[in-house]
């Protein structure tokens, strides 16, 4: 009896996920949070406890091209822009095409990852918004937020950096989420047991869909060390210098 109580809900969840991933006539965007690297991944659940700096990605499935926005918010970190980020170097950009896209994308064929942040005592909320057209209020907000970037360090690891725009930064630590639309998206995760699957229509915003995912940091676990993308190797220099074949050698040399 207890086995049935466990297996049947999992089976129903699997059927539901399969349906929204394969149904050809649905026009509702859907997404799944992926935790881990490579093939060693699992789907994120609300209020899941994760080790600091755990690699995360977002799988998005669309039946029409749409603009996608991804943010995170916590009391200690404030509001951070994850996508589309001016500091992100990858093959993904708005509008996302029809089909499946895994964000933040790939760089030189290698998967790029965000990570959970370290030292966050409160809940972190990840907010996702999809829209037929660019959302003007969010587009105005993007350059004023700190954002994720893989352009800062030579090894191209992802990190949070300050905005380069000479304007007041919003969404600082211990400040509220600086957008009513983002606050509405964040509220979904408080009542929805799973952040994966079809997104929810945003009230009063036609053509906009939202969802959110809430996690906690497991402070008993050590930070994860995500693998870094392989960079081009530089040929080793030797003590022998080769002459330029286009230049004749001086006589006697």
Domain positions in the chain are 27-217
User: Which residues lie below 8 Å from residue 43, measured CB to CB, with a gap of 6+?
Assistant: 32, 33, 34, 35, 196
Q: Which residue has the higher pLDDT, 194 or 98?
A: 98
Tell me what pLDDT residue 226 has.
Answer: 63
Average pLDDT, the chain: 83
Of 94-108, 180-194, 230-244, where does mean pLDDT reach its minimum? 230-244
Judging by DSSP bridges, how do beta strands 106-107 and 30-37 pair with one another? unpaired
For residues 69-86, give the mean pLDDT.
97
Q: What does the block give as tokens for 19? A: 């349906």
The rounded distance, in Å, linking the Cα atoms of 186 and 183 is 5
Cα–Cα distances in angstroms (integers) from residue 10 to residues 6, 17, 18, in the given order: 7, 11, 12
Of 63-77, 86-100, 141-155, 194-208, where does mean pLDDT reach its minimum? 194-208
Condensed to tens digits (0 to 9), the pLDDT of residues 9-18 reads 344 344 444 4
């Amino acid at each position: 009896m207890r086995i049935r109580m466990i297996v049947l809900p999992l089976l129903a969840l699997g059927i539901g996920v399969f349906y929204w991933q394969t149904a050809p006539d649905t026009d509702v965007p859907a997404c799944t949070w992926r935790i881990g690297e490579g093939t060693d991944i699992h789907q994120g659940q609300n209020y899941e406890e994760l080790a600091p700096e755990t690699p995360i990605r977002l799988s998005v499935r669309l039946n029409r091209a749409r603009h996608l926005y991804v943010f995170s918010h916590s009391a200690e970190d404030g509001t951070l822009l994850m996508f589309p980020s001016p500091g992100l170097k990858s093959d993904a950009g708005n509008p996302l095409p029809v089909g499946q896209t895994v964000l933040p994308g790939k760089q030189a064929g290698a998967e790029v990852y965000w990570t959970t942040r370290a030292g966050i005592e409160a809940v972190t909320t990840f907010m996702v918004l999809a829209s037929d057209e660019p959302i003007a209020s969010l587009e105005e907000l993007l350059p004023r937020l700190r954002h994720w970037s893989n352009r800062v360090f030579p090894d191209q690891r992802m990190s949070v950096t300050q905005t380069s725009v000479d304007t007041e930064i919003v969404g600082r630590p211990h400040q509220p989420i600086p957008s009513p639309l983002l606050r509405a998206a964040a509220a979904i995760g408080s009542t929805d047991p799973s952040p994966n699957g079809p997104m929810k229509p945003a009230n009063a915003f036609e053509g906009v869909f939202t969802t959110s995912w809430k996690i906690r940091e497991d402070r008993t676990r050590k930070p994860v060390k995500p693998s870094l993308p392989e960079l081009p190797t530089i040929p080793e220099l030797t003590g022998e210098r080769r002459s330029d074949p286009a230049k004749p050698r001086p006589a006697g040399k």
